[in-house]
Amino acid sequence: MEFLEVESISISEADFDQIVVPLAASPPTSFAAIRNSRKWGDEKKSVHYLRNALLQLIDTN
């Protein structure tokens, strides 16, 4: 698996919370499940944005 370098994209604390909720509810969770979560409402995040957010979460444990 190849990881991209984390860019310095500002990820909001609320977005981190939205990502962690499905992960905690039913691990393992697919990337598509996180991206297509109804909790995002009408504002579906881009793949690039979510990948960076996940990499930042991994880096911070």
The pLDDT-based confidence of 3 (bands split at 50, 70, 90) is low
CB 47 within 8 A of CB 37: no
Q: For residues 36 and 45, is the Cβ–Cβ distance under 8 A?
A: no
Q: From CA 16, how far away is CA 34, in angstroms rounded?
A: 11
DSSP code of 2?
-
pLDDT of residue 28: 83
| Sequence spans of domains, the chain | 13-60
**Pairwise CA distance, residues 53 & 12, whole Å:** 9
For residue 8, what pLDDT is reported?
67
Q: Read off the DSSP letter of residue 39.
A: G
**Paired tokens of 58:** 């991994």
